[in-house]
Amino acid sequence: MEQYETLLAAVAAPAGDGREVFDPATGDLIAAAPADTTAALDDAVARAVAAQPAWAARSDEERRQALHRMADAVERSADALAELLSREQGKPLNGPNARFEVGACATWLRVTADTPLPTEVVVDDGTDYAELHYRPIGVVGVITPWNWPMLIAIWQIAPSLRMGNTVVAKPSEYTTLSGLALLAVLNQELPEGVLNPVAGAGDLGAALVVKPELGKIMFTGSTATGKRIIEASAGNVTRLTLELGGNDAGIVLPDADPVAIAENLFWGAFINTGQTCAALKRLYVHDSVYDAVCLALVEVAKAMPMGVGLDEQNVLGPLQNRMQFGVVDRLVEAAKASGARVLLGGEPDRDQPGNFYPTTLIADIDPQNPLVVEEQFGPALPIVRYSDVEEAIALANAADVGLGASVWSGDRDAARAIAARVQAGTVWINSHGGVHPMIPFGGVKQSGYGLEFGTEGLKSVSAPQVVNG
């Protein structure tokens, strides 16, 4: 089993080099993160190109077994990975946080390894015969975010490797150490050049996406950055999977039981302290149950401890960086200035060393308030009152993004009828944000395009080929 100190030493920059990384909960120095040059990026791409033919030549069964060995490696180092993730990203060890994320990495590797992708016979009528196969693309560039830096990396790396591609992976500059640590553990079970880490800021990512050697780019992050990737990669006609910004809506119908749904509502909004692309970010509640839902949410939220991630009792942590703290603070202050009612929180200690923003619930807020129409990406939930479900659907669909949404009701058929009218890649019923390695996931509108997970995820990192005859 890898120890925390050993793992950190393996990925940190030498003393005096790199960029200092501080714990977002305490302000303490963790280590220095390496920063690669464009020459190092060139070398990583060249290694990936050189290694790809031999990796693709392995049988599907051999690559599947490699993914299982990678899962074993993650499990062997789970404690060290979770500790580093908690220190650098800020998320607590417990709850749906650091230990959960590391465990999910192993699960996703195993399920991706075992997902079937048989050859499809598309025509066999006695005269014509054609099969649809899925071949490797070549080299896949992976650029991952800071909110779920290990799990989202696995979402992109595991199917890419399974399908015979090699990978160049760049973790976020905000969670470089966590990303590199995961890649180091995975590389214990892979041949040289199959999985190639690079570390740096946005300029390195920009240099990666224009590489003509890349056949595919997978990116999770903001819509603004996604648009730049589309433009930069267009000259190479590079395939893209983009999971971009979201501002997920939830609609609570009048027959919902406020107490029964309160905890699921809370975790839908506040998992990872609200720093999740497909978190519940604006909640529309029917007037007949509005006050009861607000009261039930406050009771759940008050019971959820927030603090330093390494303290075992905490389930909510700090915002990962001061920039995001500023975004949440600005939006909550705008809501307060408009006369919206603060049910809980809303008064951060701006002088503390950590980036803690208190769990905040805002009621009686105008549906056009900035806290509602902008993505806050933090622990502040606006709760909007409505009286006509048509109004709630229109408000939910007014955003230019559509990653996820949810409908809350005691009548599943009624909820599904509403869900069919909501413009989002996934609509959950009586829950929000849960993902499954066999259920396809992706957004609509400016939340990006392309599907991940399951069979569709394997297809997305493959080049389809028809064999006709």
List active site positions.
Answer: 243, 277
Give how far Cα 89 sits from Cα of 49, 278, 425, Å.
32, 18, 27
d(CA 183, CA 157): 10
CB crowding 362-392: b at 16 or more within 10 Å, else e: bbbbebebbbbbbbbbbbbbbbbbbeebeeb
The three-class DSSP label of residue 450 is: coil
Q: Which residue type, as a one-letter code, is found at position 60? A: D
Q: What share of the chain is helix, strand, coil (3-state, %, to 5)?
A: 40, 20, 35
Backbone φ and ψ of 379, nearest 5°: -85, 60
- How is residue 430 written in tokens? 């009586």
SS3 labels along 336-364: HHCCCEEEECCCCCCCCCCCCCCCEEEEC
User: What is the C-alpha radius of gyration for the chain, rounded to an integer number of angstroms?
Assistant: 23
Task: Output the CA torsion sign for 81, 82, 86, 87.
Answer: negative
d(CA 423, CA 124): 37
Nearest by Cα to 286 from 379, 400, 393, 431 = 393
The number of beta carbons lying within 10 Å of the beta carbon of residue 326 is 15
- How is residue 271 written in tokens? 């998992």
Residues 118/123/128/130 CA torsion (nearest 10 deg):
-30
SS3 labels along 370-385: HHHHCCCCCCEEEEEE
Beta bridge partners of 133: 465
d(CA 25, CA 354): 4
